Amino acid sequence: MNLTFRLEKQGDRRTVEELTRAAFWKEENIERSGIGCDEHYLVHALRDSADFLPELDFVAEAEGEIVGNIMYSRAFVERHDGGIHRVLIFGPLSVAPRHQNKGIGGALLRHSLRKAARLGHGSVIIFGHPGYYPRFGFKEAGAFGITTSEGKNFPAFMAMELIYGDLDGVGGRFHASPCFMIDRGKAKAFEAAFAAVAP
């Protein structure tokens, strides 16, 4: 597969939202929360956030078709000494269902991490699958003395330095953009504008 990467354009937005919806949709979520997923609404909301980084909003294309997307936004660690240490968070990382398990997500992630480092960003902190992300260099955030905003640690909460030593002595509580605190009502209203998911 001939895979290329480029920045998302204005005209790509709905395509990326539909791709993200397809990538994350789970019928079993509907009974629990009333919606199959909310990641496509997160994509939509992030673009209007002051924390969004359009210079790190990449799509992957194969034969002219958008098959993946990754988005980054600003985040920070509230240090134990009261200071603020700026970091990144990415997500959603989406790959079209029929193109999953082909290495597209990993290639898109590696490409975007390289770009982030070249732009001078020092570290990335995420909530992700602990069986997947360590292969790219992520490790539990607790290894850097960093906890969630609630003071917790668990394997899915991970960090990675893009610049060696960026997290040395940082220790503190991580805070993502408020956009990640999704308004369920707004997500459901946004979902209503999409075609029904085929059974």
Q: What is the pLDDT along the chain (199 residues), one digit of tens a residue?
A: 789 999 999 999 999 999 999 999 998 888 777 788 999 999 999 999 999 999 999 999 999 999 999 999 999 999 999 999 999 999 999 999 999 999 999 999 999 999 999 999 999 999 999 999 999 999 999 999 999 999 999 999 999 999 999 999 999 999 999 989 999 899 999 999 998 876 6
In a domain, 77, yes or no: yes
CB atoms within 10 A of CB 62: 16
In a domain, 140, yes or no: yes
In a domain, 196, yes or no: no
Q: What pLDDT, on a 0 to 100 scale, did the predictor assign at position 126?
A: 98
Strands 58-62 and 3-7: antiparallel
Provide the 8-state DSSP code for 14.
Answer: H
In a domain, 67, yes or no: yes
Q: 146 forms bridges with which residues in the sheet?
A: 172
Cα 33 from Cα 22, distance rounded (Å): 17
Cα 196 from Cα 171, distance rounded (Å): 45
CATH number of the domain where residue 106 is located: 3.40.630.30
Q: Which of 6, 192, 25, 180 is nearest to 100 (CA)?
A: 25
In a domain, 154, yes or no: yes
Q: What pLDDT, on a 0 to 100 scale, did the predictor assign at position 31?
A: 76
Amino acid at position 102, single letter: K
Burial 94-132 (b: 16+ CB within 10 A, else e): bbbeebeebebbebbbebbbebbeeeebbbbbbbbeeee
In a domain, 199, yes or no: no
Q: How many domains does the chain have?
A: 1
In a domain, 9, yes or no: yes
Q: What pLDDT, on a 0 to 100 scale, did the predictor assign at position 199?
A: 62
The whole domain housing 170 covers 3-191
In a domain, 130, yes or no: yes
Q: What pLDDT, on a 0 to 100 scale, did the predictor assign at position 178?
A: 92
- pTM of this prediction? 0.94
Looking at the chain, how many residues does it have? 199
